[in-house]
């Protein structure tokens, strides 16, 4: 299976071994799936990094928003009931783009994808009953209302979710079209491709953040764009 096409570059992961050596740590490739390309990476963040990300975001959280298919603006929506805070790229020392041993650089090394192609990290908090109903992270190229968002850095080609907390019940990331659900585990990351290897959108990537039934779920999301992203 090749994760790279002749014409369009998309993020890819070295799957030749069961662990992946990154500049500052070695992580474990626990599961892979195709199609769509999905990978679970254990030990991607330390528990200390998870706690630091939560505490740097928690005071600034507000109701999460989605990109509206109606007019392309960011708006609150019943489908996404979490609270969240969006960082600019490199906003805190932990995620700065300069230091080689940071989360941003670790993501870039894992996926062979430049830091500047990433949107800023979003940290999300889901309390009991909160969820993110089934949706796509890509922008439908046929919907003219998304053109402004696509213009700012191209398609969202891939998504890396990083679970910042353990959750007692619920809170999995579910892919209803392929009957796959990944349960949260503190420090674990889940990558999935939003496009096929040729760069066209991948309908099988439909996914949802399942309602939290017990406990609190914290998550960090990194959306990767086809081109350099400027907010």
List the interface residues with ligand PD2, window 100-139 (CB under 6 A).
Answer: 132, 137
Binding range to Zn ion, per CB under 5 A, among 36-44, 57-65, 130-138, 192-200: 130-138
Can you tell me the distance from the alpha carbon of 191 to that of 139, in angstroms, rounded to the nearest whole number? 18
Q: Any contact of residue 119 with Zn ion (CB under 5 A)?
A: no
Q: Any contact of residue 161 with ligand PD2 (CB under 6 A)?
A: yes
Phi, psi of 47 (to 5 degrees): -60, -35
Q: Where are any strands of DSSP class E within 77-211?
A: 83-86, 122-126, 132-135, 156-163, 169-170, 173-175, 180-182, 189-193, 207-209
- Helix or strand (DSSP H, E) at 28: strand 26-33
**Binding at 209: pick from ligand PD2, Zn ion, none (beta carbon under 5-8 Å per type):** ligand PD2
Among the listed residues 106, 117, 125, 207, the single contact to ligand PD2 using CB under 6 A? 207
| CA-based nearest residue to 118, from 63, 84, 157 | 157
Provide CB contacts within 8 A for 35, sequence distance 6+. Answer: 178, 196, 202, 204
- Contact string (CB under 6 A) for ligand PD2, positions 168-197, x = contact: -----x------------------------
Can you tell me the distance from the alpha carbon of 167 to that of 208, in angstroms, rounded to the nearest whole number? 16
Q: Any contact of residue 137 with Zn ion (CB under 5 A)?
A: yes
Nearer residue to Zn ion within complex by CB, 102 or 195: 195
Nearer residue to ligand PD2 within complex by CB, 25 or 176: 176
Q: Are 144 and 203 in contact (CB under 8 A)?
A: no
Q: Any contact of residue 131 with Zn ion (CB under 5 A)?
A: no
Nearer residue to ligand PD2 within complex by CB, 115 or 210: 210
> What pairing do the DSSP bridges indicate for beta strands 74-76 and 65-67?
antiparallel
Shortest distance, position 222 Cβ to Zn ion, whole Å: 11
Q: Any contact of residue 53 with ligand PD2 (CB under 6 A)?
A: no
Residues in contact with Zn ion by the rule CB under 5 A: 137
């Amino acid at each position: 299976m090749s994760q790279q096409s002749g014409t369009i570059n998309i993020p890819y992961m070295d799957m030749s071994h069961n662990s992946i050596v990154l500049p500052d740590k070695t992580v474990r490739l626990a599961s892979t799936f195709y199609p769509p390309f999905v990978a679970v990476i254990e030990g991607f963040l330390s528990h200390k990094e998870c706690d630091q990300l939560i505490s740097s975001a928690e005071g600034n959280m507000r109701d999460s928003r989605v990109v509206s298919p109606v007019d392309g603006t960011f708006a609150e929506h019943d489908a996404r009931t979490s609270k969240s805070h969006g960082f600019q790229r490199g906003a805190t020392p932990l995620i700065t783009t300069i230091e080689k041993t940071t989360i941003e650089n670790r993501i870039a090394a894992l996926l062979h994808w430049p830091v500047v192609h990433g949107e800023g990290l979003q940290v999300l908090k889901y309390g009991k009953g909160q969820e993110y109903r089934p949706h796509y992270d890509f922008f439908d190229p046929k919907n003219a209302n998304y053109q402004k968002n696509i213009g700012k850095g191209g398609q969202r080609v891939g998504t890396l979710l990083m679970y910042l907390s353990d959750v007692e019940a619920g809170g999995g990331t579910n892919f209803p079209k392929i009957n796959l659900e990944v349960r949260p585990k503190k420090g674990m990351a889940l990558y999935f491709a939003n496009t096929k290897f040729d760069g066209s959108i991948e309908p099988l990537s439909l996914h949802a953040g399942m309602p939290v039934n017990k406990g609190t779920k914290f998550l960090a999301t990194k959306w990767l764009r086809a081109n350099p992203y400027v907010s």
